[in-house]
Amino acid sequence: MSKAKSSKDKRTTQPAVVRVTRNSSTHSRQADSLQSQASGTSLGPQAHPGGRQSDSGLVQDLRLMSVSELKASAARRRRPSKTGSSGTAGSLSGPRPQASPSIPKSGLGTIARLIKLGRLKNIVVVAGAGISTASGIPDFRTPGTGLYANLEKYNIPYPEAIFNIDYFSNDPRPFFSLAKELYPGNHQPNYVHYFIRMLHQKGLLLRMYTQNIDGLERMCGIPEDQLVEAHGSFETASCHLCYTLYPAEEAKRAIMCGSVPTCSFCQATVKPNVVFFGEDLPEKYFQHTTDFPKADLLMIMGTSLKIEPFASLVNTVRPAVPRLLLNRDAVGPFERKTLRRGDYMELGDLSESVQRLAQILGWHQEIEELMWGHENQCVPQLGSSAMEEQAAQERRGVEVPPGRQHKTSSLGTTGARSGSEESDASETDSMSTESSGPSN
Ligand code: CNA
């Protein structure tokens, strides 16, 4: 009891947090159907360390998430919106967006032209795990390679439990073994990260909203004030119960050695400040209420848009604002049969699409130089991704044995092209093979 009170007190001394929690929309939907089956009255974690969770425990976990999601969506509904969407924010005005025929529009050329004309100067980037797969970090959902597909060894009741705070409270080991892989330092930023950094360098980036926790955005030099790490990061750590801060480096050392860091105040487990399902999102996340209405282009990269409330952010730009989806598959509002006017998607490998866009813009070489400079300035990181290592070797003219080769873009992540080789907008529009239809 006194512990609970203390933790509350402690909590007020921590940086302000907001009452919007992270949710898996998939879970919420599952929970809706499971809720009616659940007969128990008490809510609470039912995780069984190292073992399978009982069905009723799972249902209760899902109910917890569902409640949080209901709160989040109620909060969203309180905000006036004329779009009729489930947007999280924005006093959006104007007519309902016009639906256009269901032709996936590849907009690389169009978007590049608008940027070159100086018409798009406040770009908001929304990103997810897909921007880091080229750095060697698996995403969640790509079949066979995603993190969720590799969770069997953790023996957890359902994949998302790895980010469930109640499950963590009972057994932090699965998350800690995942954390070992994701801790910054093990991987290097790739071309996509540097493209976003280039947006910043050109004065075009209003803000980047990332769901990633790998720290590669910071590492490639996107300044902190331009970055919203919506699902937290490993930069800081605190007690998962009383929120007392804990030195991040010490937490990392303990986790890397396979031990469990514990709070000096209440002895509960310390965790890096990665946002789990049901936990509050960082205060910075709420900059979206001013950023999104200001945006004149939204770029959505490498995300399945399945986690709320983040996913709904994409519905909060003004209706006439172009939205460009760069992803392997259509997600979120881009799954609809009819796309809204100004919606463009380039489906396929993200690094390749981004490189094509960079080439149309005439930025490719600059980005290559930026990567090159960064790589040579930095002391090589222990365990840097094999792909980056290969890139570095290729640059140095070292032949990489075929068995150790990693896929790079057909445009060549590493081969610096001269500006003159960079194609113009119209050429590249026709290079977009995965998206059919006019480039508009
Ligand atoms: P997700 O649900 O795994 O979706 C990733 C999306 O990216 C999918 O639609 C993929 O098809 C697409 N994708 C993956 N690789 C490529 C590629 N090379 N080219 C084009 N598209 C690609 O991940 P989300 O980010 O949407 O889900 C949010 C979760 C994932 C966040 O809470 C993160 O914390 C969590 N996560 C983060 C990391 C990381 O920090 N790198 C890794 C894995 C998961």
CA dist., res. 173 & res. 178, Å (int): 9
Binning pLDDT at 50, 70 and 90, where does residue 278 land? confident
Greater model confidence, 13 or 290: 290
User: Residue 270 has what pLDDT?
Assistant: 97
Q: Reduced to 3 DSSP states, what percent helix, strand and coil does the chain have, rounded to the nearest 5?
A: 40, 15, 45
Q: How large is the greatest C-alpha to C-alpha distance in the chain, in angstroms?
A: 70
CB 184 within 8 A of CB 274: no
Q: Is the pLDDT of residue 432 over 80?
A: no
CA dist., res. 436 & res. 345, Å (int): 10
Q: Which of 126, 140, 151, 335 to mutate to test the pocket of ligand 1 (most atoms within 8 A of CB)?
A: 140
| Residue-wise DSSP of 358-385 | HHHHT-HHHHHHHHHHHHHHSPPPTT--
Q: Is the CB of 299 under 6 A from ligand 1?
A: no
Q: Is the CB of 413 under 6 A from ligand 1?
A: no
Range from 42-56, 147-161, 216-230, 389-403 that averages highest in pLDDT = 216-230
Of these residues, 231, 240, 288, 364, which one is catalytic? 231
> pTM here?
0.70
Q: Is the pLDDT of residue 53 over 80?
A: no
CA dist., res. 436 & res. 433, Å (int): 7
Q: What is the pLDDT of residues 84-100, one digit of tens each?
A: 233 333 222 233 344 44
User: Residue 399 has what pLDDT?
Assistant: 43
Q: Is the CB of 150 under 6 A from ligand 1?
A: no
Q: What is the rounded average pLDDT for all residues in the chain?
A: 71
Q: Is the CB of 232 under 6 A from ligand 1?
A: no
Residue nearest to atom 3 of ligand 1 (CA): 140
In Å, what is the CA distance from 104 to each residue of 115, 130, 249, 313, 440?
A: 21, 20, 46, 21, 10
Of 11, 69, 6, 1, whose CA–CA distance to 35 is shortest?
A: 69
Greater model confidence, 151 or 265: 265
| Residue-wise DSSP of 187-240 | ----HHHHHHHHHHHTT-EEEEEE---S-HHHHTT--GGGEEETTEEEEEEEET
Greater model confidence, 139 or 251: 251
Q: If you average pLDDT over residues 399-411, what whole number do you get?
A: 36
Percent of the chain at pLDDT exceeding 90: 50
Q: Is the CB of 303 under 6 A from ligand 1?
A: yes
CA dist., res. 48 & res. 52, Å (int): 6
Q: What is the pLDDT of residues 303-312, one digit of tens each?
A: 999 999 999 9
Q: What is the pLDDT of residues 312-357, one digit of tens each?
A: 999 999 999 999 999 999 999 999 988 999 999 999 999 999 999 9
Residue 217 alpha carbon to ligand 1 centre in Å: 14
CA dihedral of 204, 207, 212, 217, whole degrees rounded to 10 = 50
Least confident piece of the model among 124-128, 259-263, 391-395 = 391-395
User: Residue 430 has what pLDDT?
Assistant: 34
Q: What is the pLDDT of residues 38-48, one digit of tens each?
A: 332 222 222 23
Of 266, 242, 245, 246, whose CA–CA distance to 254 is shortest?
A: 246
Residue 74 alpha carbon to ligand 1 centre in Å: 27
Greater model confidence, 209 or 24: 209
187 flagged as catalytic: no
Q: What is the pLDDT of residues 347-399, one digit of tens each?
A: 999 999 999 999 999 999 999 999 998 877 754 443 344 444 444 444 444 34
Q: Is the pLDDT of residue 406 over 80?
A: no
Of 105, 114, 191, whose CA–CA distance to 361 is shortest?
A: 114
Q: Is the pLDDT of residue 252 over 70?
A: yes
The count of residues in the chain is: 440
Residue 259's identity, in one-letter code, is: S
Percent of the chain at pLDDT exceeding 70: 60
Contacts with 335 (C-beta within 8 Å, 6 or more apart), sequence order: none
CA dist., res. 319 & res. 331, Å (int): 18
